Structure 1
Amino acid sequence: MRRFLVIGGAHLDRRGQVKGPLHLHASNPGQWAEMAGGGAFNAARNLARLGHAVRLVAPRGGDPAGETVARAAADAGVEDTPITFLDRATPTYSAILDSHGDLVVALADMALYDAFSPRQCDRRTLRDAIADADAVLVDANLPEATIARLARRCDEAGRPLSAIAISPAKIVRLEPVLASLSSLFMNRREAEALVGPLADDWRAQAEQLRAAGIERGIVTAGAGAALAFDRHETFLLPAIEGCSIVDVTGAGDALAAATLAFLQNGLPFTDACRHGVAAASLAVESAEPAPPGLTLNAVRARLALVPPIDPLHLKR
């Protein structure tokens, strides 16, 4: 069992799913669901269910939405240590999905995360939490200056820091610390927000991202193959075919959590990525962003369905 410190978004997810064909600029029949979510929080719960000790630090309001997050953390076995602003509202993420579970549009009401100032990273409690962890994971919901201060504290403590991009608008907050990250998890739109249009060739894409300072990363492309690279190699991660997609929310967080979990368990990057794909496939089959069924045994069982590394596997 490894110890993870996870810092970033933990908020209320509101998701509406359209029933039948989607009609833009018009009323659509469908249904709403509310539950706890957030990139960091989803990853934290997944890491805990994969058998690791997880401490969560996230800004939160003193309201019922914050209580929902606290209950969800307890249910998943996450040590919840929020920074609570009693007079503020817990952030929310409201998404509209089409009938296939793909995102159409989302609204993120997350101004509270801006209150997580760099000074929080200087507090003794957080510095001790960093020193006590084997690895640290942050998402880009936090302000750029705070992420930079966190990267400095992790470097001082000798702890690897990985990051989840969250969105094209927020990944740019990671730009000053790209060279400090152990791993970065993003999708294609987020990657292009950093480096501009990606080349058509897989090798060229990886070189673009390495040139930006990224040492190791995974770039997902929806249901298509994902690009994975580190300092030494570039390879494709084929998606599992035949998944019954219920909701894609949280799939990237599951990929990040499982990949990091198995890297910390000592697996090579290629093997850890395959476990990440297995976890992501379990996530898309669930209506919850961090499904309770995403356990170590479930990921290992699903691994049998993950295709081998694509034969386009390339050495640098």
Structure 2
Amino acid sequence: MAEILVLGGAHIDRRGRISGATAVGASNPGAWHQEAGGGGFNAARSLARLGHTVTLISPRGGDADGEAVSQAARAAGVIDRPFTFLDRQTPSYTAILEQDGNLVIALADMELYKLFSARRLSVRAVRDSIEATDFLLTDANLPAETLAELGRMARQFGKPLAGIGISPAKVIRYVSELSNFDMIFMNEAEARALTGRETPNYREWPSIMRQAGLKGGAITRGREEVIAWNATESAALLPPQLSAIGDVTGAGDGFAAGFLHATLEGKSLPAALSVGVASARLALASEMATAENLTQALLADTLALVPEAEIVL
């Protein structure tokens, strides 16, 4: 198993789920659920549950929410190394979900992430952690200049680096140093934002991304075919449908964790894509942002339900 350093979002997720048909512009009956979340944090928990040694570095407020995130990290086996700002609030993500688990609207209060400046990467403890790790994972919650510097440090130390897109508004923070990323995980809306391109044929995305300087990654498309690529080949897979969705919030993060897990085990691109889809399936079936019962054995059982990915041109 690998040592993985995650530098990215770790905050509080608040999700309200409507219990009936959605009535826009009106009061809707439902229930609230709160847990620790964030793109990097969700992937970190899943990777730790799969047996990797995972260290998390993220900014945190000096409040009860910050302590809740730290407790959730420890419970999942993640080594938590936060930058704590005692006079600030921990970031939060508040979402309203329809009865079937799909997102209606969300509000992200992420101002604290601006304080994770590029200079913090030069702190001795952070720099030593980057130099010592096997693999780096980040997300687009961090400022663009921080992501750019992390890309340069990854190249300097010869460390593979992956990113999670988070949202169309944030994924563009990767643009300046795309060539230093080995892969970025995103959905199709984020792919359009990152490249400024549209394509009627989604299988053109690998070529478009390579032209933009990104050598590898994956693009999810909800219930539609997922496509992944590296420097030399591309693969596609149609995810099997779930009869019921628990929560869509962490599905992309679950996909990234599964894909990375398979990649770190030396599996081929098509095999990694299949494992990513299996991991996302487990996240989607859970009412939590991650599958809390995730194990290598459960992932292997779920993988048996996923068709093999095919190499595409």
Same fold judged by TM-score > 0.5? yes
1:148 maps to 148
1:285 maps to 285
CA distance in 2, matches of 1:156, 1:233: 26
Kindly provide the amino acid, as one letter, of the partner of residue 47 in structure 1.
L
Q: CA deviation at 1:244?
A: 2.2
1:127 maps to 127
Secondary structure of 1:32's aligned partner: strand
2:227–2:237 contact (8 Å) kept in structure 1? yes
1:314 maps to 312
CA distance in 2, matches of 1:131, 1:87: 31
CA distance in 2, matches of 1:255, 1:237: 13
Matches within 5 A, 1:191-202: 191-202=191-202
Q: CA deviation at 1:151?
A: 1.1
Q: CA deviation at 1:249?
A: 0.8
2:56–2:82 contact (8 Å) kept in structure 1? yes
Q: CA deviation at 1:243?
A: 4.3
Kindly provide the amino acid, as one letter, of the partner of residue 262 in structure 2.
F
CA distance in 2, matches of 1:156, 1:124: 16
What is the percentage of aligned positions where both structures have the same residue?
46
Which whole-Å deviations, capped at 9, do the CAs of 1:144-175 have from their partners, x for residues lacking one? 00111111111111101100010000000000
Secondary structure of 1:225's aligned partner: strand
1:39 aligned onto 2:7 = no
1:236 aligned onto 2:256 = no
CA distance in 2, matches of 1:68, 1:15: 16
Kindly provide the amino acid, as one letter, of the partner of residue 268 in structure 2.
P
46-55 vs 25-34, which moves further: 25-34
Kindly provide the amino acid, as one letter, of the partner of residue 144 in structure 1.
A
Q: CA deviation at 1:72?
A: 0.2
Which whole-Å deviations, capped at 9, do the CAs of 1:6-31 have from their partners, x for residues lacking one? 01100000000111111111111111
Q: CA deviation at 1:265?
A: 1.1
CA distance in 2, matches of 1:128, 1:175: 26
1:117–1:143 contact (8 Å) kept in structure 2? yes
149-158 vs 201-210, which moves further: 201-210
2:304 maps to 304
1:43–1:256 contact (8 Å) kept in structure 2? yes
1:9 maps to 9
Q: CA deviation at 1:197?
A: 4.3
1:114 aligned onto 2:114 = yes
1:186 aligned onto 2:186 = yes
1:62–1:87 contact (8 Å) kept in structure 2? yes
227-236 vs 140-149, which moves further: 227-236
1:43–1:253 contact (8 Å) kept in structure 2? yes
CA distance in 1, matches of 2:290, 2:205: 30
Q: TM-score, normalised by structure 1?
A: 0.97
Structure 2 runs not aligned, ≥5 long: none
Which whole-Å deviations, capped at 9, do the CAs of 1:51-86 have from their partners, x for residues lacking one? 000000000000000011011001000000000000
1:6–1:57 contact (8 Å) kept in structure 2? yes
Q: CA deviation at 1:202?
A: 3.4
Q: CA deviation at 1:184?
A: 0.5
Which whole-Å deviations, capped at 9, do the CAs of 1:158-216 have from their partners, x for residues lacking one? 10110001000000000011111111000011011122343122332221122111111
2:11–2:69 contact (8 Å) kept in structure 1? yes
Moved over 3 A (4+): none
1:198–1:208 contact (8 Å) kept in structure 2? no
Q: CA deviation at 1:101?
A: 0.4
Structure 1 runs not aligned, ≥5 long: none
1:243–1:285 contact (8 Å) kept in structure 2? no
Matches within 5 A, 1:73-88: 73-88=73-88
Secondary structure of 1:305's aligned partner: coil
CA distance in 1, matches of 2:242, 2:147: 38
